[in-house]
Structure 1
Amino acid sequence: MKTSWKTMLAGALAAMLLTGCGSNAAKSGGAAGSASSGAAGSETGAAKAVTLKMFVAIPRFKQQFDQYVEQFKAKMKAEKNIDLTVQMEMPTADTAPQILKTRLASNDAPDIFSLHAINEIPSFYKAGYLADLSGQPFTDKLLDSVKSSVSIDGKIVAVPLEKLSWGYLYNKAIFAEHGLTPPATLSEMKTLTETLQAKGVTPFLLSYSESWIPQLVLPLAAGALINTENPDFIDRMNRDEGSFQELKAMFDIFDLINANGTDRALEVGGDDGAAAFAQGKAAMWLQGPWYADTILKSDPDFNFGVAALPVNDNPDATMINLSTSTSLAVSPDSKNKEIAIEFINYVLDDNDSNAFYESLKFNPLATVHTFDSFSWVNDATEYVKQGKSYQDPVIPQAVKDEVGKGLQSYYAGQMTQDDVLNALDRAWKNYNKVNQ
């Protein structure tokens, strides 16, 4: 899309101003946005018909969301006499960012939409696309370590879904069979791949048809290098004073993975990759535990772990990435904002949230979550206890989109390392032009 983010924002803000005082009342966020009896209609008269539009970019969880939405609809009917219709749109992670930005900028915002807490909240907030949810009941239930990730300027602007501790996934049965443990350095990873190859085991599963998957190497490598060698990288990139040439070492691990991976990577996506991994087609997968549910649907007894990805021969740089990613926000222009906020609060409902998050195989992140942590969470926690973790680096989503496409082209032999790094530098500079 050729229209700049700043141009789109200007058009969207102009459209907002034309909607008049009725829309202004809807933008008032926080406690003023809580549901009222006026919005709900008469509980004894005819039911009020309300339609909510939801945009949630995790289609592999359609079944869980459909069920939770049905529970919410029943709750609205019983408590507020509302006949609720929910129009659920669940695009893939590759297409969602551009679709959502286009909708927001053209005054066609969903009532509720998903976004990445770390990467997208700052720019979406600056653009005026996030309702203030401060003071809503769910906010008091969030763990302090998570609350900060969905907060900006002292306001809470989203309810988090995914709290992550991730690196790469490994098949515990294969590792145990061959007496292997996750390596602590790049050299140890090279030795491990040689051992697996000698035993007839493919070391890595490759699934690059969706560009967001190969880009996972960027936050892992950047986080490790920033936290050990280059602490001011993000700040300097935001001032147009840095370059991705400083992180060129990420190609060392990426090349090793590709040289020891399954075939036809550009034809395999996340779901197919999860099935192949569960079938034991490879010992490791550059992927996060957010695919746990899909993996276990293929084999409920499959035993996998999470380990930190080595990027060089400094064992201190082999670290777990801590992040809050997928979160749900409310558009300040929603015509049914009060009901949208009702759903946001229902996401952390005292009675129903526990089962919902457990069905998604997500980590506990609120006081209402009492289900036991999964084994792969415990694996990652061991690294955290040793001080070997870092907060996900704040890299603009536009840059992550660019690195995904660039690494696909690099894998296909269509771009060099320098081509990819130069493209990332340009993407960040373009981001700075419209966000500073």
Structure 2
Amino acid sequence: MTLIDLTVPSLRQRGLDSLPVAIIGAGPIGLAAAANLVERGIDFVIYESGDEVGANIRQWGHTRLFSPWRHVVDPASQRLLEPTGWRLPSPDRLPTGAELVEQYLEPLARLEPIASRIHTGAAIVAVTRQGMDRTRTARRAQTPFLLRVRTAAGVDEFTARAVIDASGTYDHPNSLASSGLEPLGLADVAGRVSHALPDVLGRDRAAFAGRHITVVGAGHSAANTLIALAELAEHEVGTRVDWLIRNANAVRVTTSDDDELAARATIGRRVDALVASGRITVVDRFEIVRLARSEDGVRLIGARDGELVEHETDIVVNATGFRPNLDILREIRLELDEIVEAPKRLAPLIDPNVHSCGTVEPHGFAELQHPEPGFFLAGMKSYGRAPTFLLATGYEQVRSITAWLGGDVAAASQVELVLPATGVCSTGGSAASGCC
């Protein structure tokens, strides 16, 4: 789709209201923001770096969510879809990521008020204020945002009255190294390191069958992959599965028996059973420092209790979680928590040391504001490195944000959300990890 030049020559005379709201990301939260803006009659443009809506979800589309349909559809989006004959799929059924895209996001994105404003293959490379870097203050709030966008045709710039960054975190995994930095030697073995949630029983089967695989990570992304690999090993001779964790046990895979998301409540027990049966071998208390080539695969070099240790494998799956990409926001005035990299006022409400998915308090525009007026992080990216995100939480975020953008402070401030009771959430930090 060809990008439209949104620059208005007489901007200061016409004011910011003549410009659209820019939404970064056409996943569930970005499209929900669009649906809410449609209901309020506010113009918008969606920039999606992938070639299709829901591009990140499509990468883990084989994975089944822990939340049923009734928890993963945005209310405003549902109101827009139902007049077209669309109906909510079986409310208590658990969709896969692919089903979420095909049965919900694609029909939503085809609605004319949204379809005409989506630009795919449009990657945001920077956000700033028009003619201002982050150090300039005078008339800042009255100056439009400037988004630099890369497409197949090249790089261009476009303006907006406000920005909702709902680009997610899936493309930015945490490091395999315990230091948080990329481990030394990663470039030498990059072809042997897989992103989280590979489709080992489908698209990626040939790459994993008959191999020795080590899954690194202690959350639900790791657990989902371990279960799939154990099934692969039943059918493919020579397939071996190791589970490497930094601590003595993987506490975040464990969930309480009264978790209302039953599929998540059982996943820890399934992995425990596979470990007990010997189908998965646990390598615990292993702090990765360096990666190196071996004759047939990868050597993981690290420390255990202060001693040098090594582990050899054919393939490494990085299931250590995700983090937000903040590089594109260097010229935006952000106020982020120094630990989890979430908005400062939101961070105490989502601290994974205190909260599970179901105990996160409702929050909206007030907790998501930054010193940059009109700029919001929403969805998984707003949670920084905290793994306690639920899609329903993101939907309420953008409902509140769009109400505020529409001048309806009362509606924006009335934040309400009923979440299913849950146990401990994944360190994976993505919808695929179980917090959706």
**Fold agreement, TM-score > 0.5:** no
Length-normalised TM-score, structure 2: 0.26
Length-normalised TM-score, structure 1: 0.26
